Structure 1
Amino acid sequence: MTTNAFPDETHPITWPEGFTAAASFTFDVDAESCTIAHDPTSTRRMSLMSHQSYGPKVAVPRLLKILERQGIQGTFFIPGFTAESYPDVVRRIVDGGHEVAHHGYLHEPMQGIDAATEASYLDRGLEALAKVAGVRPAGYRAPWWELNWHSPALLADRGFLYDSSLLDGDAPYRMAVAQDGAQDTDSRDIVEIPVDWTLDDWEQYAFYPGVTGSGVIESPSKVLDMWTLEAEAHHSQGSCFVLTNHPFISGRPSKAVALEQLIERVKAMDGMWVTTMERIAEHTKATVNEVQSHARIEIPSQPGAGAIFTPSRTRETALS
């Protein structure tokens, strides 16, 4: 007997006619950028650099063949530095009909940086993607899924349709750009398509000595079972299953086989819309009229002063 999961009541959504839930297979093509951003001296480590370059050199072509065989389009979040370093690979992604989205320039650490610095990362990444692939991305995913409170406005300034960096929902929603109650002066919004660490291959497979991971690399069969259960739950509750893969991880042989088996299972779910993040965002913008802000907590500097909680708000707006 199948037990239906309870839906995300905070972010109600209906899907296009004929569909009852959505799924998107996404790929963060970090290549060397994430290790360099974490530790610039990692460029001295030849073996580590080869571990990261496996992504664009070997894994991306393999993953593109899988997507072609399965007849689906994915979303590839690409740092600008990766695009400049592997332009032929990025153009091959575009030629395959897949979505290219923004993922920083050098996968820069985002936590606590000021707006001007963050804007420079965004602009440099946009320039690289335009130069290499001739694309102006609709979507953004922050490195390490780390947004700042000023990030939504920076994205809206640059015409982004959606972000995929927050973890507070099972379904996409419209997010207020003004996160401090100043919606009277900035009424813009962008779509947020939430993510989940459970649905990230990094937590299951990633390991490199002295860089990341516990040394426990999970079996692809275990991961396939876990992700299948997640997909079934999202399907039963009518929400949005978003899987995040890193080619240098999930593009390895046995993991790629498991990923294709997962794609086959998700495609077979009745009424599951398997599509790109951009199409999901376009649908959300066109059909959801509630715009939500996020609760904020401020801690005064003086000891013992307690905390200030500003609750989230919801407003209605016209559909696009």
Structure 2
Amino acid sequence: MSFLAIEGYHAFVTGAQGGIGRTIVQELRANGCKVTAHDLKPAPTSEDADTFNVSGDISNEESISKAMQSAVERFGPINILVANAGITNEASHPNIWELPLETWEKVYRVNVRGCFLTIKHFIRAAIRAQEQNGGKELENLSIIVTGSECGKFGQAGHSEYASGKAGLQYGLVPTVKNEIVRINSKARINAVAPGWVNTELIGERLDDPRELYFEGQGTVALRKIARPEDVATAVCFLASHRASGHTSGQVISVDGGMEGRVVWREEELPDSRPFYIYHHHISIMSQTSPRAKINIALGIDFDAISGWLGTGAHPNNTTSDYSAGYFSAHVGVPRLLALFDRLQISDKVTWCIPGHSIETFPSQTRAIVASGAEIALHGYAHESARQMTGQQERDVLEKCISLVEGLTGKRPRGYRAPLYQLSERTISLLQEYDFLWDSSLSHYDSVPYFLPKDPMPIKPIDFRPDAKAEEWMHPSPNFNDLPKSGLIEIPCNWYAEDMTPLQFFPNTPNSAGYVDVRVVERMWMDRFEWLRKEMVMGTRKDEVIVYSLVIHPDTSGMAHVIGMLERFLEWLRAFGEEVEFKRYEDIAEEWRATRGGEK
């Protein structure tokens, strides 16, 4: 038994997907607890034998009640409650006399009402558990509320989120302290009040606390920056009857260096420049206002049977292989259309459709068009440029333009090369036929760029024994130094798609198909979180930041994959105004506008 002696107890943690919440879950797990991790956002990590992920709204009584019930059904009675969930807004700190009523009501609904309902239904669940056990008291019944240091000490400009949240939450502590002992003589409630905590949302995590400061017009001190681990260990200490004994009704500070000091807001800093904690020092950077959004460029490649005819052609392909193409049309497309409709993004995505799919599956194609999505080209039979002569590639392009025009009444403006296998000839053809965008290349990973007007091929090296080394020791052409065309590249790459890791092709060497969807989901999340951190930190000055994702009805339409896709898209949507789903055409137009029509 450890010093805390909380092994085997069931802990319920709200706000479990935030920087502090995740660390609390990890710390409870490390001390032997079974943990139900609750959050409004779907969990990005997979469950295991001792972790149960649930999502819901703590301000909705039915939702939190059902979540508690599900937790009890999974792990049995709940012994420890960590009421950690809440909302904050570090970008806005109005004085209390400037605070809009609707803002206060939003905060009250989540931070106060939500905390109250969480505690209420935890206690109700404890009463039921004790009644079902013949009146025997539950062991180690503990409640820990987390709030803000400035809710305890007060701080100007934090009225609506920090002080409002924590002050009112802490008001529950003495009330519950005196009432909870009526149902369990040893039950306790305490609160943890973090100050500045170095989560990933404010910069690069520090390995150890240190003193950080500005020098100039006065000194702004951010001393002994706390880590999420510091908060989590305080929570676990208070959760343990053995460790914290009869401590109840207390608000314990986790010193983040805020109490007793004036901490300046961004606009009050010298030169009106914001600060960010980064790589063990404070970096002063120019303010980017308003903050750029991350544009979600969701592209769907409706390959179907064509995927087996062009780049996927192989003499050993069978009728069984082709049947996966029929699945794409008859199952995958309707599932994706229904998902996009449910998420209200149907007209904010781009479908890249081979001509073969248009002609083979006309009803599915009409449904895609009716959804309001952008329609772009993707070859006819999923051919790569190297499989065709120049005339064949031109004929394919003209045929597919005609097919889309017949469906939509207008020329397509975008193109993605099958298997990303285009050539310099392809780029020249797209320019000749006045396409707006392509999405087949990856010179960059998250910003659009103009493709060269006359792209130059990179010649392979001739390593024949009779060749001389000086014949190949020459630099390749740098595409940035070439004259630009009006064709805009919206980059994508192999790591931004579903098919390669999640679908098995018997005769394709690099296919996988048996990868856990959570591995891919986590990779997509990691990519987004890095781009978001660059945006938050101000290191990205791009006017248009793009997060591209390529999916296929063949793959993401499968039952074990579409649930992951839905979780991931919901996770993106939870970032609110920081993200916006857009068609590739709209992203390209917006980016071109930022360049003043430059080519």
Same fold per superposition (TM over 0.5)? yes
CA–CA separation in structure 1 for the residues paired with 2:562 and 2:518: 11
Change (3 A) 1:275 1:152: same
**1:147 deviation in Å?**
1.9
Query: Highest CA radius of gyration, 1 or 2?
Result: 2
Q: In 1, Cα distance between the equivalents of 2:508 and 2:454?
A: 36
Q: Distance in 1 between matches of 2:531 and 2:398?
A: 35
CA contact (8 A) 1:235 1:272 kept: no
Q: Distance in 2 between matches of 1:253 and 1:102?
A: 27
Displacement after TM superposition at 1:215 (Å): 4.8
Residue 282 in structure 1 maps to residue 589 in structure 2: yes
Contact (CA 8 Å) 2:384, 2:422: kept in 1 or not?
A: no
The amino acid across from 2:384 in the alignment is P
Stretch of structure 1 that moved more, 166-175 or 208-217? 208-217
Find the aligned partners of 2:454 and 2:326 in 1 and give their Cα distance: 39
Structure 1 counterpart SS, 2:303: coil
The 5 Å alignment of 1:62-211 reads: 62-72=335-345, 73-111=348-386, 113-170=388-445, 171-180=447-456, 188-211=485-508
| Superimposed CA distance per residue, residues 172-198 of structure 1 (whole angstroms, 9 cap, x where no aligned partner) | 1122222249xxxx8632110011211
For the structure 1 residues 112 and 59, does the alpha-carbon distance in structure 2 shift closer, same or farther, using more than 3 Å as the test? closer
Corresponding position of 2:559: 253
Q: Specify the SS of the correspondent of 1:32.
A: helix
Give me the whole-angstrom Cα distance separating, in 1, the residues matched to 2:591 and 2:484: 17
Which of 297, 313, 337 is the matching residue for 1:39? 313
Q: Displacement, 1:212?
A: 5.3
User: Which shifted more, 80-89 or 30-39?
Assistant: 30-39
Give yes or no for the alignment of 1:219 onto 2:494: no
- 2:567 is aligned with what amino acid? Q
C-alpha distance in 2, partners of 1:216/1:94?
30
- Corresponding residue of 1:229: 526
SS state of the match for residue 254, structure 1?
Answer: helix
Q: d(CA) in 2 for partners of 1:191 and 1:85? A: 30
Deviation at 1:157, TM superposition (A): 1.6
Task: Kindly provide the CA deviation profile for residues 112-161 of structure 1, in whole angstroms up to 9, marking residues without a partner as x.
Answer: 74433321121111122223444421100011112211222211221210
Over residues 240-277 of structure 1, what are the superposed CA-to-partner deviations in whole Å (9 max), with x where a residue is unaligned?
A: 11111111111111211111111111122242121111
1:234 deviates by 2.3
Q: Separation in 1 of the partners of 2:598 and 2:399?
A: 32
Q: Distance in 1 between matches of 2:403 and 2:309?
A: 18
More divergent stretch after superposition (280-289 vs 72-81): 280-289
Q: Give 5+ residue unaligned stretches, structure 2.
A: 1-198, 205-277, 279-287, 457-476, 478-482, 536-544
For normalisation by structure 2, the TM-score amounts to 0.44
Which SS does the other structure have where 2:403 is aligned?
helix
Cα distance between partner residues in 2 of 1:262 and 1:137: 29
The structural deviation recorded for 1:87 is 1.0
Q: Cα–Cα, structure 1 residues 16 and 158, in superposed 2: closer, same or farther, change >3 Å?
A: farther
Cα distance in 1 for partners of 2:564, 2:442 equals 25
1:55 aligned to 2:328? yes
Residue deviations 1:24-75 (CA, integer Å, cap 9, x gap):
11111000001112327567x2211111111111111110111111111211
Describe the shift of the 1:217–1:40 C-alpha distance in structure 2 as closer, same or farther (beyond 3 A). closer
CA shift in 2, pair 1:16/1:143, >3 Å:
farther
Q: Is the 8 A contact 2:500 2:511 kept in 1?
A: no
Question: In the alignment, which residue of structure 1 is the partner of 2:301?
Answer: 28
For residues 550 and 563 of structure 2, the distance between their equivalents in structure 1, rounded to whole angstroms, comes to: 16
User: 1:271 is matched with which residue?
Assistant: 578
Q: Distance in 2 between matches of 1:212 and 1:92?
A: 34
Query: Could you tell me how far apart the structure 1 residues matched to 2:366 and 2:302 are?
Result: 13
Distance 1:212 1:61, change over 3 A: farther
Change (3 A) 1:202 1:287: same
2:413 and 2:375 map into 1 onto residues whose CA distance is: 8
- In the alignment, structure 1 segments of 5+ residues that lack a partner are 7-14, 290-317
